[in-house]
Chains A and B, each alone.
Chain A
């Protein structure tokens, strides 16, 4: 594909739209983020490393990235099923179900966190039965995982829905009439065409989970080395008036998230390119 600067479209030319887009992005996203990096520069390199590599903080990276990744994977699977159900079938209460999917978007995260804790605490509706079986959910990494799954679900469902809508039923029928088994139809026909959307949904859910604070701190129990998420440690540093330390951890989170997003987007890009 050749680069083309002049394209006919309803919006005024490339130069102007790019200018607006860059200014907007710069003001809304890049300016605050660069301040973050600026703030960190008050630390020397060795101080920076000492802050971001301390055992307690490394433990929190593991928990945050691990639980976020797991939650995004689970959401990718179950979000797919939910999106499939909502686009392929008609049933009473469908509109309502569709609206409920958005709830985690709309709720203040602290409210979700308290609600989840109430249910999963050892004296809560669900937590009680698990406690009886000798298993704890709230105040363990499992609780963190549950909160992150909760907030991530709508991202997967909402990105998958339009792409599933676009998928003609005829293609499935064609596959079947050409002798594909059900499994083959799903694996070779349906999945590849929604994979880009699924990957986007996964990325969004994952990214959101990495930065989540409100819904997690209530259910996690916040024990150092065990159930502290990185966002909480940033808050803790701020609470101790250690602005530089807080921004140092943020910079690491930011860098790691950016690299991860880039990798996922690149794979997606290659996948799309390979298909064409």
Chain B
């Protein structure tokens, strides 16, 4: 009886397992037949290490690029993608992941690669137009349908009883943009609507007072945060699937994706009157590309992001294109919003990172017991 039972189990396991094994084994036959074709095709493989919310964008972009490059040069490119939290991805590259190009959420993460691994020069951001950022994005609010808590501006986020969902700025690139967007908004309010005063020594005292105010605001804001996920996708899930919170601070494209995925009948997007110009930059990883002999294709890949076709794909995926013409064509996708840049208000990423997000920085102080 027992023997028989074992036998039956074995057969059952084999019967269930076999199709999996078969269907998961790559079909070698296909590759062989391709090699047999008379025309000699050169194959190049390219690894793009990117951050979380770009998955959908690069699926379409890679397809277009492969076709484009094949037509131009006759070379077959196989673009491989790696996605994950921006900081984690940067660390992977530092630790030796053979990325030919990196397309990360913020310049700071790419700076760190340059600094720690010296895979490309420190002034990498000057190598391509527009701060090496072919597309931009911004931070918007995703709210429950009909906006029951009437959330319209950054000021509404600090009201008691409002639950705000954002990831932890220490582990998420997106969350850093969220935080800095809120900070910039308050500075602007306190400085009488003129952010230019930030860099004007004449107003140093006023700026100092405004920064104190901003700090108070962020303390109040993070008091309203019930869950601090480690990444942007995690927060989206908390808001959408666990139904926690009244407002999700999200990348514009991530918010649109959430609506597309889960239905317009559940959520609305609120674009605040002012937000931050989020620049997720790109660069070739020189040393890796030279070693792999992929520099040419890597450069073409990034250049294609700036082409009309590349810009159009970015716009379709709700990244704001740099190209004026394409931007006009897709104007319906993007609401008008006043944007300030990290360089204008915070003096660049290195400074912002140090002041706000380093250990003992302002973000840490928010959570310190008084």
Residues of chain A touching chain B, judged by Cβ–Cβ distance below 8 Å, are 51, 54-56, 117-118, 121-124, 138-139, 217-218, 221-225, 232, 235-236, 238-242, 245
Which 3 pairs, one residue from A and one from B, show the smallest C-beta to C-beta distance?
A: A224-B367, A121-B242, A221-B227
Residues of chain B touching chain A, judged by Cβ–Cβ distance below 8 Å, are 85, 87-88, 90-91, 94, 112, 116, 168, 170-171, 225-230, 234, 241-244, 357-359, 364, 367-369
Q: How far is the CA of A8 from the CA of B243 in the complex (A)?
A: 66
Within the complex, the shortest CB–CB distance from A84 to chain B, in Å, comes to 24
What are 13 A-to-B residue pairs whose CB atoms are below 8 Å?
Answer: A55-B368, A56-B367, A123-B243, A124-B242, A221-B228, A222-B168, A222-B230, A225-B369, A236-B171, A239-B85, A239-B87, A239-B170, A245-B359
Q: A117-B242, A240-B358 in contact; A217/B230 too (CB < 8 A)? A: yes
For B368, the closest partner residue in chain A by CB is A55
**Which one, A222, A232, A241, contacts B91 given CB within 8 A?**
A241
Q: A122-B243, A239-B171 in contact; A222/B357 too (CB < 8 A)? A: no
- Cβ B116 vs Cβ A222 within 8 A: no
Within the complex, the shortest CB–CB distance from B6 to chain A, in Å, comes to 12
Interface SS, B side = loop
Q: How far is the CA of A238 from the CA of B358 in the complex (A)?
A: 12
- Cβ B226 vs Cβ A55 within 8 A: no
The interface residues of chain A lying within 8 Å CB-to-CB of B243 are 121-123
For B171, the closest partner residue in chain A by CB is A239
- Cβ A225 vs Cβ B367 within 8 A: yes
Supplied contacts A56-B368, A224-B367, A240-B359, 11 more A-B pairs, CB within 8 Å:
A118-B242, A121-B242, A122-B242, A221-B226, A221-B227, A225-B369, A236-B170, A239-B91, A239-B230, A240-B170, A241-B87
Within the complex, the shortest CB–CB distance from A98 to chain B, in Å, comes to 14
- Cβ A222 vs Cβ B228 within 8 A: yes
The interface residues of chain B lying within 8 Å CB-to-CB of A245 are 359
Q: How far is the CA of A70 from the CA of B286 in the complex (A)?
A: 52
The interface residues of chain A lying within 8 Å CB-to-CB of B112 are 241
For B168, the closest partner residue in chain A by CB is A222
- Cβ A123 vs Cβ B171 within 8 A: no
For A224, the closest partner residue in chain B by CB is B367
Q: How far is the CA of A224 from the CA of B171 in the complex (A)?
A: 13
The interface residues of chain A lying within 8 Å CB-to-CB of B171 are 235-236, 239
Within the complex, the shortest CB–CB distance from B181 to chain A, in Å, comes to 20
The interface residues of chain A lying within 8 Å CB-to-CB of B170 are 236, 239-240
**Which one, B87, B227, B242, contacts A222 given CB within 8 A?**
B227
- Cβ A122 vs Cβ B244 within 8 A: yes
- Cβ B228 vs Cβ A224 within 8 A: yes
For A241, the closest partner residue in chain B by CB is B112
For A233, the closest partner residue in chain B by CB is B170
Within the complex, the shortest CB–CB distance from A51 to chain B, in Å, comes to 8
Q: How far is the CA of A54 from the CA of B364 in the complex (A)?
A: 11
For B225, the closest partner residue in chain A by CB is A223
Q: How far is the CA of A241 from the CA of B171 in the complex (A)?
A: 10
